[in-house]
Amino acid sequence: MANVAVIGAQWGDEGKGKIVDWLAERADMVVRFQGGHNAGHTLVVGENVYKLSLLPSGIVRGTPSVIGNGVVLDPWHLRDEIAKLTGQGVAISPDTLIIADTCPLILPFHRDLDALREDASGAGKIGTTRRGIGPAYEDKVGRRAIRVCDLAHLDALAPQLDRLTAHHDALRAGFGQPPIDRERLLAELREIADFVLPYAKPAWKLLAEAKAKGRRMLFEGAQGVLLDIDHGTYPFVTSSNTVAGTAAAGSGLGPSAVGFVLGIAKAYTTRVGSGPFPTELEDETGERLGVRGHEFGTVTGRKRRCGWFDAVLVRQSVAVSGVTGIALTKLDVLDGFEEVRICTGYRLGDQMLDHFPAHAADQAQVEPVWETMPGWSETTAGARSWAELPAQAIKYIRRVEELIQCPVALVSTSPEREDTILVRDPFAD
């Protein structure tokens, strides 16, 4: 039986939470391997709606869940999210949740810096969630991060604090802000340490032992490939690698452990925040997609930009992330359209492109080349088998497969957990 890595194949918000939750029933462990609490996953289970941003989606099913070393962890948000889920009846304990002891921490001044930079950027705003994700990753790469394991050794933290304050106090001064209050920071860390440390373990070791026993692992990514720091629409990207290859580095397991790569893509396209979006619809159709798809960010509440399916971008995501199969979500949102459109290429001046160009100026100028297909009047909402889908919806899925050069493994037809059509079992490969 294969392990499975789940990643977003667009700009995030593709419905990864539901798919991970659905697959988690058959997994022995769920491992979150990158990002932070800037990732929003909404799970609908009967009458209950669970909104996660840091915790792995498997936690709702009680599947043992791991926050890997590739994640940046806000310990105060962790406490709040656990409290909220506990209030909804989800049991969370150190037996069901493991946090890698090498996770870097997101600290209060990271959030401050994130917001200060964004406010000062004018037309150059990236559209961050202002939650400190980027500054925390910068400190990790700069070798000045405070990590989860440091919470057990706060009396020995002075050298790290020296490095941190030397860097951040200069940045804060440039924004007219006072230096970091070291004593206050230490007090806040002491206060939260007792909550976090029971969950802290050498995650790489526990995962290696699980792998040796043949346990099935589900690796959960955040955001989407088009937000990858290397392969996304730079600079309008997140601060980590979101491709499937990160599952190995961000969990502490080798690349051979990853197995089947399941890319999640909506049957149309959405994006939150700034950045290029070739198929964006700023008209009644785009509004209709947004209303029918309830397109508001789980984390930010911001209205998502909407457009038709971009096969060029998803094909690019499939290539750079080694996607084995696609889970096509929100097919039901397209119900009732007289026609549906797919972007099959781009026009840039007098050039025809079969890929998205790297430079932001070219990205802003490309025009989509459209293929139009008949829509369907019948409903796909709630379908749980291929036979329940309208013939034209099946034709649409087949054309998507051809254009992205990747088979569809799952189809999601509503936010409900069980409204899922299994075409190819990722765990069986």
Alpha helix segments (H runs only) across 229-302: 246-249, 284-292
Say which residue the tokens 């700023």 belong to.
Answer: 282
Please tell me the distance from the alpha carbon of residue 257 to that of residue 246, in angstroms, as a whole number: 12
Nearest alpha carbon to residue 303 among 273, 260, 262, 333: 273
Cβ neighbour number for residue 367 with a 10 Å cutoff: 12
Please tell me the distance from the alpha carbon of residue 241 to that of residue 418, in angstroms, as a whole number: 30
| Residue 174, token pair as written in the block | 């440039």
Instruction: Specify which residues 104 forms β-bridges with.
Output: 147
Q: Which of 37, 41, 168, 231 is catalytic?
A: 41
Please tell me the distance from the alpha carbon of residue 159 to that of residue 143, in angstroms, as a whole number: 12
Residue 41 appears among annotated catalytic residues? yes
Q: DSSP code of 296?
A: B
Measured in residues, the chain has a length of 429
Side chain identity at residue 179, one-letter code: P
Nearest alpha carbon to residue 30 among 17, 40, 39, 43: 17
Residue 335 appears among annotated catalytic residues? no
Please state the φ and ψ torsions of residue 74, each to the nearest 5 degrees.
-90, 110
Please tell me the distance from the alpha carbon of residue 68 to that of residue 57, in angstroms, as a whole number: 14
Q: Which of 13, 139, 310, 419 is catalytic?
A: 13
Alpha carbon distances (Å) from 230 to 35, 242, 313: 14, 9, 15
Residues 6 or more apart whose CB falls under 8 angstroms from that of 221 comprise 5, 6, 7, 8, 16, 33, 34, 35, 242, 244, 246, 247
Please tell me the distance from the alpha carbon of residue 308 to that of residue 4, in angstroms, as a whole number: 28
Residues recognised as catalytic: 13, 41
